[in-house]
Amino acid sequence: MADGASPHSDTPARPDTPANRVLAWYDRQGRRLPWRAPPGVRPDPYHVWLSEVMLQQTSVQAAAPYFHDFLVRWPTVHDLAAAPQDAVLAAWAGLGYYARARNLHACARVVSEQYGGVFPGTEKELRKLPGIGPYTGAAIAAIAFDQPAAPLDGNLERVVARLFDVRAELPGAKETLREHLRFLVPEDRPGDFAQGMMDLGATICVPASPKCMLCPLAEHCAARAAGTAERLPAKAAKKPRPTKRCVAFWTVRDDGCVLLRRRPQKGMLGGMLEVPSTDWTEAGWDADSARPHAPANAQWRELPGRVRHGFTHFAFEITVWAGAVPAGTDPGDGQWWPLDRLADAGLPTAMRKIAEHAIKHGAVPEGGDFAAIRAR
DNA sequence: TATACGTGGGT
DNA sequence: TACCCAAGTAT
């Protein structure tokens, strides 16, 4: 809760520590985020948990609309726990890192069924739940339960590395950073301190061209004194990214349905719907090698161009074949999905691109009014 | 410790 | 265009 000592207050001035500077700065900013409770109000652990999972490796801007949608749809952890997994995955579609959605749902079920819907209030207990790792456990403990925990995310890594001029490479330097951070965390308002540090990293102590002139910690900052702030934290070099290719089969039934298939629970896009395709390989496919993988008998037409999509660890390049099949065609291990409800399928972005590509090239049933079909 | 795992925006 | 980066976790 905010109680920064005002000039007219009888409260003795707080010592000039980095934590107090961050807290004073945090109070001054008054930054509002959808999941942030007003000053002095203890936030709902369900909201804190939901937002923290959505924010894992994800920007505030991307997560915000999903956070809102989830709360409207599933106001309590019991509601989320009672939802079918397919619905949760579809609602998560487009946000990425789909294991988060599977773990979110699993976690909701544990909290609902084993904890009576009440999130545990300690880092240790939180860490046992699916999808809650070192960062998220500490963040929930600090923000929702006022525990003196020290969440260390990408923002904090950067702020702490600069504050102490830690030049060792990440991820190796992480424990060093954690040690430094431990001594900064205040007993009072640890949650606000954590959020203040994250805000600082997001708005002032940014990766390129940090705004040191505006920084409340500038006088304490060793990297600023040494002139190294701009290039910290140091990071290990990354591996080159291969390209994987496939042929995707856009299979349209003449009553206006398209064939989709659910992916296995583990691995890329686990549990999500996809456009059936060959395996994804670096070698790629020619017509003769691809044809046997088609999900149905049809006159296949290769659509012009390629769909390209960038994943974290490989580039994805898709050739789309379109084919029409009659009503009654066996979906095999897939399912027929009405084209005019494709937006409800919850396709991950790569698959949405394939669908848009096919629709753009007219691969829809003849006669019907499918011109306005939109994926997603 | 290293790798798999999405996506969109910024430079 | 290409790379970096974002409130990381699981294995």
Provide the residue ranges of all domains of chain A, joining segments of one domain with +: 18-231, 243-360
Cβ of A237 near strand B (distance < 7 A): no
Pairing status of strand A315-325 against strand A243-253? parallel
Q: What is the rounded distance in angstroms from the CA atom of residue A94 to the CA atom of residue A75?
A: 21
CA of A327 to C1' of B9 (A): 43
Q: Is A330 strand, coil or helix?
A: coil
**pLDDT at position A7, please?**
46
Q: What is the pLDDT of residue A376?
A: 60
CA of A286 to C1' of B11 (A): 37
d(CA A25, CA A30): 9
Residues 6 or more apart whose CB falls under 8 angstroms from that of A75 comprise none
Angstrom CA distances, A220 to A57, A121, A197, A336, stand at: 28, 33, 14, 61
Task: Find the Å distance, CA of residue A11 to C1' of nucleotide B6.
Answer: 49
A286, two tokens: 């020619």
| Sole residue written with tokens 């652990």 | A45
Report the C-alpha gap between A143 and A48 in whole angstroms: 7
- Please count the other Cβ atoms lying within 10 Å of the Cβ belonging to residue A194: 27
Does the nearest atom of strand C lie within 7 Å of A110's Cβ? no
Give the active site residues of A.
52
* pLDDT in the model for residue A311: 97
- The gap between A200 CA and B6 C1' (Å) is 26
Cβ of residue A199 near strand C, that is under 7 Å?
yes
CA A61 and chain centroid, separation: 11
CA A345 vs. chain centroid, Å, equals 19
Q: Which nucleotides of B are covered by protein (CB under 7 A)?
A: 1-9, 11
Residues in chain A: 376
Which of chain C's bases lie under 7 Å from a protein CB?
A: 3-10
> Residue type at A239?
K
Burial class (CB within 10 angstroms; exposed 0-12, middle 13-18, buried 19+) of A376: middle
* CATH number for domain A18-231, candidates 2.40.30.20, 1.10.340.30, 3.40.50.720, 1.10.540.10: 1.10.340.30
| Measured distance CA(A192)–CA(A151) in Å, rounded | 12
Cβ of residue A30 near strand B, that is under 7 Å?
no
Q: What is the pLDDT of residue A4?
A: 40
CB A171 within 8 Å of CB A178: no
What CATH superfamily classification does A243-360 receive? Answer: Nucleoside Triphosphate Pyrophosphohydrolase (3.90.79.10)
Question: What pLDDT is stored for residue A146 in this prediction?
Answer: 94
CA separation for the pair A300, A324 (Å, rounded):
8
Q: In this predicted structure, what is the pLDDT of residue A3?
A: 41
Q: Is the CB of A99 under 7 A from strand B?
A: yes
* pLDDT, tens digit only, all 376 positions of chain A: 344 444 444 566 789 999 999 999 999 999 999 999 988 888 999 999 999 999 999 999 999 999 999 999 999 999 999 999 999 999 999 999 999 999 999 999 999 999 999 999 999 999 999 999 999 999 999 999 999 999 999 999 999 999 999 999 999 999 999 999 999 999 999 999 999 999 999 999 999 999 999 999 999 999 999 999 999 999 998 889 999 999 999 999 999 999 999 999 999 999 999 999 999 999 999 999 999 999 999 999 999 999 999 999 999 999 999 999 999 999 999 999 999 999 999 999 999 999 999 999 987 777 656 656 556 6
